[in-house]
Amino acid sequence: MGGLFISFEGIDGAGKSTHIEGLAQAFRAQGRAVTLTREPGGTALAEKLRIMVLNDAMDAMTEALLVFAARRDHLQQRIEPALARGDVVLCDRFTDATFAYQGGGRGFDLQMLLILEQWVQTVQELGADFIRQPDLTVWFDLPAEIAAQRLTGARVPDKFEAQPLEFFRRVSDGYLNRMLACPSRFARIDADNTRDAVWRDVLQAVQARGWLA
Ligand code: TMP
């Protein structure tokens, strides 16, 4: 069976984690090998870059370059080999997060992000170049106000979690614009719902594509 690449997106507090774990179990129960990973991160180098991106003050371009540098290493060392083996790759955030956080949240130039996306995600398969994108992106859509309530007191906030409500509204708009640019890649999940209802919708999005029974 061919590899499958699914990314998971949403503003901080949208509640992705338990569902990513649940999907990993569902795929494994059907005999698929699963690579569970995240961005920024997923390799030793990218995890070092993650610590800088989440903690150190820097301008938006530096942030964008670091997340794309982490992504390049992640793609080459981890994602592409896993897809070549036929794994299901479940990735907690990918490039849509850069468009949402650095583009929407920080207001960084979207044209420059598109160029970086093309450079960094160009990979070779059977001698031909193409731009790697997730086969499916599950977007946990949650109003910024509700996400902020959920995060209150949950843990010490990192640099992004400490941003004001207005930042997360722009991040949400960033996700929406990415979905509108490529609707067939996205499953938009209403994350303002019970955990069971959200899980049902996540499962349904994957089943509808024929990837899980
Ligand atoms: P998380 O793994 O806990 O969701 O945190 C990662 C944080 O990094 C989250 O606040 C979103 C942010 N981020 C970016 O700003 N740009 C990116 O490209 C990625 C992948 C994440």
Q: What is the pLDDT of residues 183-211, one digit of tens each?
A: 999 999 999 999 999 999 999 999 999 99
> Which amino acid makes up residue 151?
L
- Assigned domain for 42 exists: yes
Ligand 1 centroid, distance to 213 Cα (angstroms): 31
For the chain, the average pLDDT equals 96
Residue 151: pLDDT band by 50, 70, 90 thresholds? confident
Q: How many domains does the chain have?
A: 1
Provide the residue range defining the domain that includes 159.
4-207
> Domain of 17: which CATH number?
3.40.50.300
Ligand 1 centroid, distance to 133 Cα (angstroms): 18
- Assigned domain for 213 exists: no
Q: What is the pLDDT of residues 42-73, one digit of tens each?
A: 999 999 999 999 999 999 999 999 999 999 99
Residue 145 in this model has a pLDDT that exceeds 80:
yes
Ligand 1 centroid, distance to 153 Cα (angstroms): 19
- Assigned domain for 59 exists: yes
Residue 37: pLDDT band by 50, 70, 90 thresholds? very high
Enumerate residues lining ligand 1, CB below 6 A.
12, 38-40, 54, 67, 92-93, 97-98, 101-102, 160
Residue 154 in this model has a pLDDT that exceeds 80:
no
- Assigned domain for 212 exists: no
Q: What pLDDT does residue 1 have?
A: 80
Q: What is the pLDDT of residues 96-132, one digit of tens each?
A: 999 999 999 999 999 999 999 999 999 998 899 999 9
- Assigned domain for 134 exists: yes
Residue 8 in this model has a pLDDT that exceeds 80:
yes
Question: Per-residue pLDDT averaged across 8-37, rounded?
Answer: 96
